[in-house]
Amino acid sequence: MNAFATTQNTTLLVIGGGPGGYIAAIRAAQLGIDTTLIEGAALGGTCLNIGCIPSKALIHAAEEFEKAGHYASGSALGISVSAPAIDLAQTVKWKDGIVSRLTGGVGALLKKNGVKVIHGWARILDGKSVAVTQDGTETMRVNCEHLLLATGSQALELPGLPFGGRVISSTEALAPTTVPQRLVVVGGGYIGLELGIVYRKLGAEVSVVEAQDRILPAYDQELTKVVSASLHKLGIQLHLNCAVLCMNPAGDAVRIRNAAGVESQLAADQVLVAVGRRPRTEGFGLDSLKLDMNGRAVKIDDQCRTSMRNVWAIGDVAGEPMLAHRAMAQGEMVAEIISGKRRHFVPAAIAAVCFTDPELVVAGLSPAEAQAAGLDCITAMFPFAANGRAMTLEANEGFVRVVARRDNHLIVGWQAVGKAVSELSAAFGQSLELGATLEDIAGTIHAHPTLGEAVQEAALRALGHALHI
């Protein structure tokens, strides 16, 4: 048996300092629960350090650079500039500054609320104790009453394209030192497309390889065809229904095979593999607990309880949907349950946003999902081409769509594609959570001129009397 230099005791022990873990720890401490959090890397997890935040920073920088290039060739706005240039090192420095401020803020919040933070790597000994490794040595043991798993997820690796050399994951893609001349993106989901668009706007020739017959296969085609048109306009090459095999012998091209079985090569200075993520369940002794699993994810109930008493799991380690805001909500709930409050995780909907160009947001049921659920629904959309604010933003592509029950007009889903539609996600989620009807949305005065007017107009159109179309 290992001899530990120190032993600490706590009521709640959180493994993982990402969005779910740090929110759970803060809320638990606010409720008077003695709380300890263990994190081996930087606080904030994947989201703040190598995911949501840095990717949005680079998306913004790339968009501004492309806009400057657009003005260099003349603009309807009357703006003209000389040929723009970008200092990539400065861009990355700016991005890292944002990340640093946010992760520092998380640390300050944990300290302010009295959470004990241990910087080290956890190894589960049993459901009540964890060993902590610091600088390669197990230095302490932490005993707890409640153990919360918030270990997140990690990028999936392809057998034929292991990470290393020219083959990178999203982590390396978010910290570029140069822009490759030719980038091949493996995976047409949201991560691959977001980063592929960034690199294209920064000047790379980008090809996207997707195994299915269209991009963003998790979203319905009426939405994704708007994004497809934008990719074509940007000059991004799509190779759909194609399987990726491996790098060629010279290591400067990716071998792919199409649906007809014909093989070809795509020249590549860099290859970004973005085929999804998997729950992080290995390397820290989780298997010793012998928890019930749901595939690769830890199986949980509607209170985030695992099959072992007082062992909880939240966020990506508990499977789909792998969204930071889901993890945050689950973490807050678990803290409140441990404090004695009665809570269950049964949200009406969790909005998902894809920060492509244009953006895409969905909440609740799509028309096809509503039909599959046996619901007789009304579906109506309002195009941004008829929205004044969209016109002033030079962004009139896309639409807002509402799905509501025909019998009582209860709204069961929202979808939108267009510039800045991510900002509509709160309105979508709120209307679903509050059980709004078409009449509720149609009768709410929406400020003019805003993109949000399209939300009201979609509801009005579903009722048969849209005003601006």
CATH for 352-462, options being 3.40.50.300, 3.40.50.720, 3.40.50.2300, 3.30.390.30: 3.30.390.30
DSSP per position, 157-184: -BTTB-SBTTEE-HHHHTS-SS--SEEE
Catalytically active residues, by annotation: 448
Residue range 6-50+92-154+278-338, CATH number: 3.50.50.60
The answer to whether the beta carbons of residues 1 and 130 sit under 8 Å apart is no
pLDDT of res. 392: 95
Residue 263 confidence (pLDDT) above 90:
yes
**How much is the pTM?**
0.95
Give the closest residue to 148 by CA, choosing from 409, 411, 330.
330
Give the closest residue to 424 by CA, choosing from 404, 441, 407.
441
pLDDT of res. 110: 98
Domain boundaries, the chain: 6-50+92-154+278-338, 167-275, 352-462
Residue with tokens 């269950």: 344
Same CATH topology for 6-50+92-154+278-338 and 352-462: the answer is no
Q: For residue 308, which phi and psi values (nearest 5 degrees)?
A: -110, 135
Q: Which letter, b or e, does each residue of 239-274 get, where b requires 16 or more Cβ atoms within 10 Å of its Cβ? A: bbebebeebeeeeebbbbeeeeeeeeebebbbbbbb
pLDDT bin (cut points 50, 70, 90) of residue 2 is: low
Residue range 167-275, CATH number: 3.50.50.60
Distance, CA of 169 to CA of 195 (rounded, Å): 11
pLDDT of res. 1: 44
Q: What is the pLDDT of residues 328-384, one digit of tens each?
A: 999 999 999 999 999 999 999 999 999 999 999 999 999 999 999 999 999 999 999
Q: Name the amino acid, one letter, at 341.
A: K
User: Which of left, alpha, beta for 275 (phi over 0: left; psi -120 to 50: alpha)?
Assistant: alpha
Residue with tokens 């929110």: 23
